[in-house]
A and B are shown apart, each in its own frame.
Chain A
Amino acid sequence: DGGITQSPKYLFRKEGQNVTLSCEQNLNHDAMYWYRQDPGQGLRLIYYSQIVNDFQKGDIAEGYSVSREKKESFPLTVTSAQKNPTAFYLCASSDRGSGANVLTFGAGSRLTVL
């Protein structure tokens, strides 16, 4: 079955460490996204990529970095510059055309900073 795989599901990090969250999709979607979810705040867009080797900052990109070297992969690095990284991170993808803004989501990665 096609879908989005995020790993790890749970991740613990010490302050000052960078961590990378993996996101892989086999839906052949062009666009991929990273959203952050905090309790009571909904989802906020971190970064998005509409084509390979190109990506754009979302609303809360500070302290994060991404790469898009392959169509199916869009890893997110949470750097030590992110002041409050503890959150639930959701990766999503969408196809171009009429369904372009219908997002398919992964199951998420929960990051806790100790």
Chain B
Amino acid sequence: AQKVTQAQTEISVVEKEDVTLDCVYETRDTTYYLFWYKQPPSGELVFLIRRNSFDEQNEISGRYSWNFQKSTSSFNFTITASQVVDSAVYFCALSGYAGGTSYGKLTFGQGTILTVHP
């Protein structure tokens, strides 16, 4: 069975601080995908990133960066110089191989509520 754990339930920071959201996963699949989604107060989940299990390169997109470490089954997300608009619930998720029957069946973590204070 697949499992995703986001140990940080809530994080509170002051604007311009850097913040890292942790994600640890469990799966028996050799091919899998990891995701991060953002859920602002409006409720709609917004896709941020997808990484496959064969690509361990870290990725940076503006103030966002992701650190994928297969050895520790972690896929952590860092926001640099946080802003008030970053306040949201962030979900880490895991799915099996997209070409199989499990595509779209994501296993989500519990979510981390990030509050950025001005």
Query: Which A residues are within 8 Å of any B CB, using their own CB?
Result: 31, 33, 35, 40-45, 48, 50, 58, 88, 90, 92, 94, 98-108, 110
Which chain A residues lie closer than 8 Å to B109 at the CB level?
42
- Which of these, A33, A40, A50, A104, contacts B110 with CB under 8 Å? A40
With contacts A42-B91, A101-B33 taken as known, whether A88 is within 8 angstroms of B43 at the C-beta atoms is yes
B50 touches A42 (CB 8 A): no
How many residues from B make CB contacts under 8 Å with A? 25
Query: Which B residues are within 8 Å of any A CB, using their own CB?
Result: 4, 9, 33, 35, 37, 42-47, 50, 91, 93, 95, 98-99, 103-106, 108-111
10 A-B pairs with the lowest CB-CB distances in the bound complex, closest first: A42-B108, A100-B103, A105-B45, A108-B43, A100-B98, A43-B108, A107-B44, A101-B103, A101-B95, A101-B98
Looking at B95, B104, B105, the one whose CB has the most chain A CB atoms below 10 A away is B104
With contacts A98-B98, A101-B95, A107-B42 taken as known, whether A31 is within 8 angstroms of B104 at the C-beta atoms is yes
B45 touches A42 (CB 8 A): no
B43 touches A31 (CB 8 A): no
Which chain A residues lie closer than 8 Å to B95 at the CB level?
101
Which chain B residues lie closer than 8 Å to A99 at the CB level?
98
